Amino acid sequence: MQDTQKIEALLAKIYGPGGGEAAWQKLRPVLEKYPRLPAGRQGYFGREDVMLITYGDSLLRQGEPPLETLGSFAREHLGGVFSAVHILPFFPYSSDDGFSVIDYKEVDPGLGTWEEVRKISGDFALMFDLVLNHISARSPWFASYLAAEPGFGDLAIEVAPGTDLSRVVRPRALPLLTGFTKKSGELVSLWTTFSADQVDLNFGSPDVLARMVDVLLFYVHQGASYIRLDAIAYLWKKIGTSCIHLPETHQVVRLFRLILDLEAPGVVIITETNVPHRENISYFGDGADEAQMVYNFTLPPLLLYTFINQDATLLSSWAGSLQPVSDRTTFFNFTASHDGIGVRPLEGIMPQSEIETLAEAVRRNGGMVSCRRNPDGTESPYELNVSYVDALRNTGPDGRDSLLAERFLASQSVPLVLPGMPAVYIHSILGSRNWSEGVRRTGRARTINREKLQADEVLSLLADPGSFRARVFHPYCRLIRTRAVQEAFHPRAACSILHAGPQVFAVKREAAGQAIYALTNVSASAADVNLPASGIPGGLTDLVSGRRAVPDLLELAPYQVAWLSSVP
């Protein structure tokens, strides 16, 4: 079947036979508008692939566009560390730090221009957000909807008063519907999953679909190598259902994959679905027809739980269950991002009482806990709002935590050794702490991990070996650089979880004649380790310290990371 015929067939599944033909008539001019791009690199992922996650204005310098500051900092200090940069939404917006988009095709003038974005793409692959579930209530599109302009009449989702929406899964403890008044004077209740300023788009409308495909193709023509489908799980709404992970949502993901495979082969789709693991990995589809990557959302809270309890047993058990869906897919392994640490992915892995205990530990360390509303009207923890550094803080009786840098670096080593593509939030590699002052200014819990830093102050601290930022940044960069040249850390390299006792998370990775035993002591006590590797001629070399190691005589210091390789 020709590619366009596949697209037509998928549209018929989404909209029905007649509706599918109408949708194709809307979509075809969009596809014809953009010239097809040449195929990208062979194979989606490599051992050198590591992504930096950052806002366009996470680093600031007087008199310089923030995107220019970001680009120069990345080129000068992160070259050879990161292969790709995820610039969080850099478009004009009205709220939610960029995720309430006013204009999808413009760069926020406070950040810079498309020229600055393209300049960064000359040195790093780029990931853009396709914020497709909702749009700003201040956007021109929404103004056109309120004015009932042609082509915009069904942009939003109108819900009749009294409609039973009790089955809808809620990611927030906020009202699901918001009232708006059209230009005609008609009052309507519209679906607003995330906030009153974020109006959900109606993908039941072929006009909406065509507009968002236009945005998608515009992004890849502006240099995007990765497309992040933001909040994709909630895309399709059907009264009387949970309105999450509906079959039509998966069909839309398949449609985007088909379009990109046709128009921009090699561009990677990554889905953002902060939900329990089994639901999350459903977006791999059959391994070839949906996302090439999914966020490994279970890892951040489970890793935090591991270090707080100084016990890797549960983490090891869960990691042992991770299986690749195909050689075309992989996990996006991270610990922190612009959002908080979601705890829904722990459902089914640990009891709710343990999740509550984890939330309490975060509160003790100066963080906050955001809740969601359950169908029965109760609320439960949804997200831990805290910097990952402070989440791991363990202050002693003297008010100090002398091992915080070592504990944090040990936690960050785990995403680097698991199969997948590691991703690092800029505030993690810079060792940032809770920005409580920011929360007081904005009144939003997520601000705690979104501080805007002065670039020159950061550089000054990185040049001071005694500063906390320097004690995190330089060893972290060395770990990533070391990882990038090891064949055994390729995303498709064989992986087995070893049982080295509760204090140690141990992984064996193998590829191209190399075996690496990656060990992380998750505790504040020394740990003895015996590895089944004594038969390796010449023993092992620790890639982290450079020292030789004897497999049956290993002792790991508190929070020590050792990558023992059979190839020096």
> Active-site residues: which are they?
230
**Beta bridge partners of residue 556, listed in sequence order:** 527
Burial status of residue 441 (CB atoms within 10 A of its CB: 0-12, 13-18, 19 or more): exposed
Between CA 30 and CA 19 the distance in angstroms is 17
> In whole angstroms, how far apart are CA 89 and each of 56, 98, 130, 334, 453?
8, 5, 8, 19, 18
Distance of CA 289 to the CA centre of its chain: 20
Between CA 300 and CA 284 the distance in angstroms is 20
Tokens coding 517: 């035993």
Helix, strand, coil percentages (3-state) for the chain, rounded to 5, are 35, 20, 45
Question: What is the residue whose two structure tokens read 């990931």?
Answer: 127
φ/ψ of 360, rounded to 5, equals -65, -40
For strands 125-130 and 84-87, give the pairing: parallel
Query: Is-contact 522 303, C-beta < 8 A?
Result: no
Query: Is-contact 534 551, C-beta < 8 A?
Result: yes
For strands 268-271 and 224-229, give the pairing: parallel
Between CA 172 and CA 247 the distance in angstroms is 23
Which alpha helices (H) appear in 122-205, and where do they start and end? 140-146
> In whole angstroms, how far apart are CA 371 and each of 365, 377, 382, 443?
18, 12, 5, 15
Report the candidate in 354, 403, 367, 414 with the shortest Cα–Cα distance to residue 525: 403
Tokens coding 87: 């610039």
For strands 125-130 and 187-191, give the pairing: unpaired
Distance of CA 355 to the CA centre of its chain: 21
Burial status of residue 444 (CB atoms within 10 A of its CB: 0-12, 13-18, 19 or more): middle
Between CA 128 and CA 121 the distance in angstroms is 11
